[in-house]
Amino acid sequence: MLKKFEDILVQCIEDVKAGRSSVEDCLAKHPSISKQLEPLLRLALEIREPPDVKPSPAFKVRARVQLMEQIHAMRGVTKWPWFRYTGQVKPITYKRRFNMVAIIIAIVLAVSAAGGGTAYASQGSLPGDFLYPVKLGTEQARLVIATNDVDKAELYLTFASTRVEEMTGLVEKGKPENINIAVNGYDEAMAMAIGKLEQASGKGLDIADTSELVAEATLKHLGVLEGLMETVPEEAQGGITQAIEASQTGYGNAVIALAGENPERAIQINLMLMEQQLNRVRVRAEERETTRLQEALQEFNRLTNLGEEICQIAKELGKDITVYQLVGQATANHLAVLAEVHEQVQEQAQLAIESTMQVCIANHEQVVAALKEKNMLGQVPEELPIPEGIPDEVKERLRRGY
């Protein structure tokens, strides 16, 4: 509905400016939304193209928000220095008043720069659309409301998810030429989300929940982006690849941060992503795409290494038993999938799969050794069974560790 409203508004503006229609004609064509449409249409038509370069509404929003953040920061140091510290009581009255002031500031900024209805209508816009700069401006305004780095990290994560939705929308509407705008926005939002997480951690704030949100969100992002890679034209694939790399980096940082707070949840999320990656390995094998299969295997190996880092963090925290058990139970399934794929591909790809299988076996041996040391092997098999479908000579190489 928002997108439809925006399309109508933009079309009316273009028709009136081109002399194809009048304001009254446009309103008559759309009686159900004429009351909402008229003030925005007249406001837009009052705007004239300036002879010189002039700040856009979105730029004004950003500039004003940055100014307010500067004022906010100075207030935190001068009047309320206790806001900079954690573990201390913050007077509820002051906090509530400050939040309300921040909300009012954000609303005034959005309305004064763009008009409330325009800001509302802009939320369905895509890169290249008339109202897209206003959408970005209102996102900046929302940051004024965030009073700490954890809240800002979650907002930036929301913006990153919005950029992924925009990429999907652009592909669906046949506008891949604007994908790089969303990709660059995604890259920036993910970097800011991780940066704010790091700042929050440095200030002693609790980042467990937010780290989990980032890890889970990037897991979903990767699934969507991998799907888009299959559908976008070749000229847009570079942008999607950039977004995937940004998502992988964000995921790695977030899941390691989460491991420092909740290693069990961190390994669960990482194992889910490993399963997702194995599904991609299956698809590449079925498509007989050796190069892309090898790339998928490399990413799976990277996630395996990430899992080892999580295990090490868990060990340092004294929370490693459950983490090791989860890894040990999952590895047998990983090996079975790799064996299934091994049967489908040609020799060059088989060598890459065997290398990944050896990584799984070596990782399992480390897990078993750690659990046996504490007499907590549980349901984890002491020796990882090599699937029957694997040729005997390959089994022998795997047992020898090459």
User: Over the stretch 339-375, which tens digit does the pLDDT of each residue have?
Assistant: 888 888 888 788 899 889 888 888 888 999 999 998 8
Q: Which residues, 6 or more positions from 108, have their beta carbon under 8 angstroms from its beta carbon? A: none
Q: Which of 76-80, 106-110, 265-269, 329-333 has the highest mean pLDDT?
A: 265-269
Report the alpha-carbon angle 50-117-4, nearest 5: 95
Select the more confidently predicted residue: 270 or 5: 270
Give the pLDDT confidence score for residue 209 in this predicted structure: 93
CA dihedral 53, 59, 63, 65 (to 10 degrees): 160
Token code pair at residue 48: 């004239």
75: enclosing H helix or E strand: helix 57-78
Give the pLDDT confidence score for residue 319 in this predicted structure: 94
What band does 10 get if pLDDT is binned at 50, 70 and 90?
confident
CA pair distance 191, 196, nearest whole angstrom: 9
- The length of the chain in residues reads 402
Give the pLDDT confidence score for residue 124 in this predicted structure: 75
**pLDDT tens readout for residues 169-193:** 999 999 989 999 999 999 999 999 9
Give the pLDDT confidence score for residue 97 in this predicted structure: 35
Give the pLDDT confidence score for residue 388 in this predicted structure: 73
Give the pLDDT confidence score for residue 27 in this predicted structure: 93
**pLDDT tens readout for residues 277-313:** 999 999 888 888 888 899 999 999 999 999 999 999 9
**pLDDT tens readout for residues 52-73:** 445 554 444 444 444 444 434 4
Give the pLDDT confidence score for residue 140 in this predicted structure: 84
**pLDDT tens readout for residues 30-46:** 998 888 788 877 877 76
Say how far residue 80 (Cα) sits from the centre of its chain.
34
Is 143's pLDDT higher than 70?
Answer: yes
Is 86's pLDDT higher than 70?
Answer: no
Give the pLDDT confidence score for residue 378 in this predicted structure: 84
Give the pLDDT confidence score for residue 134 in this predicted structure: 78
Contact of 330 with 274, CB cutoff 8 Å: yes
Q: Which residues, 6 or more positions from 265, have their beta carbon under 8 angstroms from its beta carbon? A: 212, 258
Q: Which region among 104-108, 212-216, 260-264 has the lowest average model confidence (pLDDT)? A: 104-108
Helix (H, G, I), strand (E, B), or coil: what is residue 115? coil
Computed over every residue of the chain, the mean pLDDT equals 79
Contact of 156 with 192, CB cutoff 8 Å: yes
CA pair distance 186, 156, nearest whole angstrom: 9
What band does 402 get if pLDDT is binned at 50, 70 and 90?
low
Give the pLDDT confidence score for residue 6 in this predicted structure: 64
Q: What is the mean pLDDT of residues 148-152?
A: 93
CA pair distance 270, 280, nearest whole angstrom: 15
Give the pLDDT confidence score for residue 47 in this predicted structure: 56
Give the pLDDT confidence score for residue 292 in this predicted structure: 87
Give the pLDDT confidence score for residue 87 in this predicted structure: 33
